[in-house]
Amino acid sequence: MELSVLDIKGKETGRKVTLNDQIFGIEPSDHAIYLDVKQYMANQRQGTHKSKERGDISGSTRKIKKQKGTGTARAGSIKSPIFRGGGTVFGPRPRNYGFKLNKKVKELARKSALTYKANEKSILVLEDFNLEAPKTKEMVAIKSNLQIADKKSLFVLPVENNNIYLSSRNLQDISVVIASELNTYQILNAKTIVLLEGSVKKLEEALKL
């Protein structure tokens, strides 16, 4: 699959980039995508939820009434879950929601997501550029020139670029990531993927081609 390389003004540079079919043209695996996104979402959970059980409640430990002769059930603690203000039964405890996922499954998921975007013609290739200083309006202008001003976009950079990152930080519809850290959730969450020219090779290296 060949795509024309655009400049930051949205015009064709005359160069073309060939997207590798082993990344952008495979048979997609929906189940691999599901597992990878599920793991990503699970890793975002803090898991710090906690309710007080009967051992965590502050209160007297005395026996609240005699064992026999009351005509009601035995009761040995005011902190029992059956009483108002008592502990919670089977409440949430702190835990880690993360789970293991094989590297090959994660690679397959990323390739599948990129293939879907390629089939939807939602991938643009932009020539490598740099900003002299962090300016949000310059990123807004670039999006407008690429005719994706109203779309949630993901800019994939070959290496870290602090000026581009800071310029897009205040914009809700722009995300910036380097190619080696690209994940399946970010690909699917964006309407348009903007690959900088140098990031195409970095993607191939990251996906072991």
102-148, pLDDT tens digit by residue? Answer: 999 999 999 999 999 999 999 999 999 998 899 999 999 999 999 99
Is residue 60 located within the same domain as residue 34? Answer: no
Name the β-bridge partners of 124.
194
Q: 56 with 124, same domain?
A: no
Are residues 178 and 149 part of one domain? yes
Clarify whether residues 120 and 60 are in a common domain.
Answer: no
Structure confidence at residue 209 (pLDDT)? 59
Work out the angle between the directed axes of helices 30-44 and 103-119 (0-180°, nearest 10): 110
Do residue 141 and residue 113 come from a single domain? yes
User: Does residue 61 register a pLDDT over 90?
Assistant: no
Residues of the chain with pLDDT > 70: what percent?
Answer: 100
Counting the structural domains of the chain, the total is 2
Whether residue 81 sits in one domain with residue 116: no
Say if residue 122 is in the same domain as residue 172: yes
Of 61 and 176, more confident: 176
Same domain, 38 and 108: yes
Distance CA 25, CA 84 (A): 61
- Whole domain around residue 153: which residue ranges? 2-45+101-206
Is 185 found in the same domain as 91?
Answer: no
Same domain, 91 and 192: no
- Alpha-carbon Rg for the chain in angstroms: 27
Question: Would you state the pLDDT for residue 48?
Answer: 95
pLDDT digits (tens, 9 = 90+) for 77-106: 999 999 999 999 999 999 999 999 999 999
Model confidence over 16-44: pLDDT tens digits?
889 999 999 999 999 999 999 999 999 99
